[in-house]
Amino acid sequence: MNLLGIGSIIRNVGELADDLITTDEERLKIGLQEKIVDAQLVKGQLAINAAEARHKSIFVAGWRPAIGWVGAIALAYQFIIYPLLTWLWSYLQAQGVIVSELLPPPVLPTGSLVTIITGMLGIGCMRSYDKLKGTATDKIRISGRC
């Protein structure tokens, strides 16, 4: 006989404690499940990247190189062309070729540009890391495994 429901209270407290306490084995299982999900996401993204790279349209296959070229042109303008242009602008204004009221060409806002370029270079550094580790390959191999 269950006096005053103590048995059910003890059972409920035990179930609550079991729900609150996570063992090392449970943590490992959860971590493994998260890694499997992450690996599946990476595998899916690699399949998308491969499909985009094989696409015949330049608007699908060429968007990454386009971002690289736009970034390279913007950096060249900002750090090579613009300083030379402002020097030439000042010289031509002093010579009277350009009126002094005319403003020089604009400076590019480099905050967003540098963020994009460093992101791209960071991704590119992974390839250099692979080469230094000795895991570099001459050919890209696409396999069914992650």
For residues 66 and 51, state if they share a domain: no
For residues 66 and 138, state if they share a domain: yes
Give the CA dihedral 23, 24, 27, 28, nearest 10 degrees: -140
Q: What is the pLDDT of residue 42?
A: 79
Placement of tokens 């806002």 in the chain: 109
For residues 144 and 131, state if they share a domain: yes
For residues 100 and 128, state if they share a domain: yes
pLDDT in tens, 69-89: 888 888 899 889 999 999 999
Q: What is the pLDDT of residue 132?
A: 72
Q: What is the pLDDT of residue 92?
A: 93
Q: What is the pLDDT of residue 119?
A: 75
Looking at the structure of the chain, the number of domains it has is: 2
For residues 70 and 115, state if they share a domain: yes
Given a contact cutoff of 8 angstroms between Cβ atoms, the answer to whether 79 and 108 are in contact is no
Q: What is the pLDDT of residue 146?
A: 41
Question: Which residues of the chain carry a pLDDT beneath 50?
Answer: 1, 144-146
For residues 77 and 16, state if they share a domain: no
CA distances from 139 to 129, 130, 133, 134, 136 (A): 17, 13, 17, 14, 9
Which residues constitute the domain of residue 103?
62-146
For residues 39 and 95, state if they share a domain: no
For residues 43 and 106, state if they share a domain: no
For residues 77 and 145, state if they share a domain: yes
Q: What is the pLDDT of residue 29?
A: 79
For residues 66 and 92, state if they share a domain: yes
What is this structure's pTM? Answer: 0.45
